[in-house]
Structure 1
């Protein structure tokens, strides 16, 4: 794959290039830039598969440059590389493929390259045309875990124990990664001594393998190391529904009257939070990241409807946003303005009271001044 590297430190660029080309392989660095102002024009000419982009640069914020790159080159993936973790949420809101912290670890960078390779293969398969035979099995993770065999509906999984379910979910969450035996044992059996925890882990791995076999999902495998000091879950040809959904959202073209139904369809494929019914704390970051992608897509679609004077459609989506994100002020505010434009002031007052209750009472935090000022000004006008 072809890559462009952007960092204001020349040494960091050279180190990253060495890791990608020599230590990991499969990557050709076609451009390196310490001046971010040169990147956009060069990227248009070079058409890279991926841009590795530092966020904290003196001349321009890397998030702004990443946004410009995505608009100019929607097929190019963005990987942010930085020493500042406070930018993580904003980076993923731009649909960045990955976010790698400095100092870069080879194993972590290798995971990123594997994801890139998978994305490129996916694009090539899509360009080759639809395939209707030999469809892969699917593991579904919206709300709860279920398995879907080709041509059939998703089936809930009957796990031998709750530990088997959580172990599979954790390994699926860290798919294609080596997980040390001690790490897994500490997560699931923290009160057991070493030998006893290891035996529980070994037995649970066996039960998971049997469950996969019984459900006809042999494509998903769990391989142990030679001395069984750890395990790796591999997806094989199986796919993950949340991963497919995210890829589908990223592939959407700019909203028009002609493709609005496809945007609606993708929004509807979000069947619930990632492992939402299982409520594992270690899944919370991914859960929130996917929720934010859904929220951004819903906001785009709602704004489009509002701009097309399709007020009822916009209200429908904002109400759905309010249900899924009861503490997100922007959804309430947009809905209040739509109701106000319809002359439905009672609905505005009810929403404002609900927002005060959610944010003020539940979170014990004042709502944004801009919303309060807007509401108070409209209230004076109505008096």
Structure 2
């Protein structure tokens, strides 16, 4: 079970992490004090469980849980609290799990046992077969409870050739072209022998996992047909075309489309022939995220907009735009600490990469915001003094 921990208290965060590390079935993949950074990691990794502090300063743990459940209804939420009476409120979210600080080993083990039992009972009968090219080449059952399939490739060459055929799906690819790409330094007789052997390995691998993908051979070329198997790249493209406008009614679909893109096209495979497609799709993805984020901002749903702009910042860390937008979003969200953090990150990035300062507009906005915050703090202190 893959878990992410979010807690405002560093000591309790580390303690829970250490206790979970002692449980063989649990892998802690992230620990966060900042809830917004935790949300970004949840979007990126889609863990099985989130251990979430109820009493956080920037955002209520209950509100954060609602945001998580909207996008990932199958993620298990385990609330942690220093006050047992607070746990009763969690049932409003239909969450059956909570832990009271300080943690007791037997209660933690019992909770983990319940979570593992619940995960084991999930069914994937309604899921459809899907080939995935975002981030890396892999196979899974796509549906309410997605399940990645463990595929054993005979050789790295067979995996690369299959990816190439997927890249050129529904097209006849000349065998001579495949020899030039994959066996450029082999004489033609051995090259054809390697090609036929590799195609056989691919077919055997597909048969072993029960995927109805066919590779049609003619005298001089091959053609790959997906048949009824889905491809994440095509589903992402179709979703954007089918729902060109972001509205309250189409929002759930747009969240699903956003979640399909969990990494650049074949980025972990490092295939040179995929670079152009990868760059093209990344530009489309960034434009799309900004479009969805614009809707969230207009709806004053700042937490969701923050998540998307954190992804944009991760993809484009050397662009000033995301830092400034996040500063404004955190201000609207009421998170002063994160406004200052983003400005500091922006200054450090610009100094390190360009030996420059933030542009005049950003500096002016920040100084105005800083002065406004100082006046508000003075009013609060003066009021307290008068009392």
Q: TM-score, normalised by structure 1?
A: 0.55
| Aligned counterpart, 1:184 | 178
From 359, 379, 385, give the equivalent of 1:372: 359
1:163 lines up with 2:150 in the alignment: no
SS at match of 1:154: strand
> Is the 8 Å Cα contact of residues 149 and 216 (structure 1) preserved in structure 2?
no
Does the aligned pair in 2 maintain the 1:139–1:145 contact within 8 Å?
A: yes
State the structure with more CA Rg: 2
1:321-336 alignment to 2 at 5 Å?
321-336=312-327
- Could you list the per-position Cα deviations for residues 202-253 of structure 1 after superposition, in whole angstroms to 9, with x for gaps in the alignment? 2111111111122212x32222222xx3322222232212201220122125
1:246 is aligned to 2:245: no
Residues 360 and 225 from structure 1, CA distance in 2 versus in 1: closer, same or farther, beyond 3 angstroms? farther
What CA deviation, in whole Å up to 9, does each residue of 1:77-127 have, x standing for no partner? xxxxxxxxxxxxxxxxxxxxxxxxxxxxxxxxxxxxxxxxxxxxxxxxxxx
Equivalent of 2:191 in 187, 193, 197:
197
| TM-score where L is the length of structure 2 | 0.55
TM-fit CA distance, 1:289: 2.7
3-state SS of paired residue (1:167): helix
Whole-Å separation in 2 of the counterparts to 1:200 and 1:283? 22
2:226 match: 235
Find the aligned partners of 1:221 and 1:257 in 2 and give their Cα distance: 40
C-alpha RMSD of the superposition? 3.1
Contact persistence 1:147–1:215 (CA under 8 A)? no
Q: Deviations over 1:128-169 (max 9, x none)?
A: xxxxx9986432222222334688833132110000000000
Tell me: CA distance 1:293–1:351, structure 2 relative to 1, closer, same or farther (3 Å): same
Q: Return the match for 1:280 from 271, 285, 296.
A: 271
List alignment gaps of at least 5 residues for structure 2: 1-124, 372-387
Asked if 2 retains the 8 angstrom alpha-carbon contact of 1:143 and 1:273, the reply is: yes
- The 1:230/1:134 distance shift into structure 2, 3 A limit, reads farther
Match of 1:302, SS? helix
Aligned residues: 244
Match of residue 145 from structure 1:
137
| Structure 1 pair 196–268 and aligned structure 2 pair: CA distance change class (3 A) | same
CA contact (8 A) 1:145 1:157 kept: no
C-alpha distance in structure 1 between counterparts of 2:351 and 2:130, whole Å? 42
1:1-383 correspondence to structure 2 within 5 Å: 137-148=129-140, 153-217=147-211, 219-226=212-219, 229-252=220-243, 254-341=245-332, 347-355=338-346, 358=349, 361=352, 372-381=359-368, 382=370
Change (3 A) 1:304 1:184: same
Range with bigger deviation, 179-188 or 320-329: 320-329
Structure 2 distance, partners of 1:134, 1:306, is: 35
Pick closer, same or farther for the CA change 1:339–1:238 going to 2, 3 Å. closer
| Cα separation, 2, equivalents of 1:322 and 1:139 | 28
Distance (Å, rounded) in 2 between the aligned partners of 1:285 and 1:309: 36
Deviation (angstroms), 1:284: 1.9
Q: Helix, strand or coil: the match of 2:135?
A: coil
Distance 1:328 1:162 in 2: 36
Does the Cα contact within 8 Å between 1:140 and 1:154 map onto a contact in 2? no
Aligned equivalents of 1:360, 1:247: Cα separation in 2: 41
CA distance in 2 between partners of 1:174 and 1:252 (Å): 26
Structure 1 stretches lacking a partner, 5+ long: 1-132
Question: Structure 2 vs 1, CA of residues 379 and 141 (structure 1 numbering), >3 Å: closer, same or farther?
Answer: closer
CA distance, structure 2, for counterparts of residue 380 and residue 350 of structure 1: 14
Change in Cα spacing, 1:141 to 1:343, as seen in structure 2 (3 Å) is: closer
Which moved further from structure 2: 266-275 or 167-176? 266-275
Cα distance in 2 for residues equivalent to 1:148 and 1:376: 47
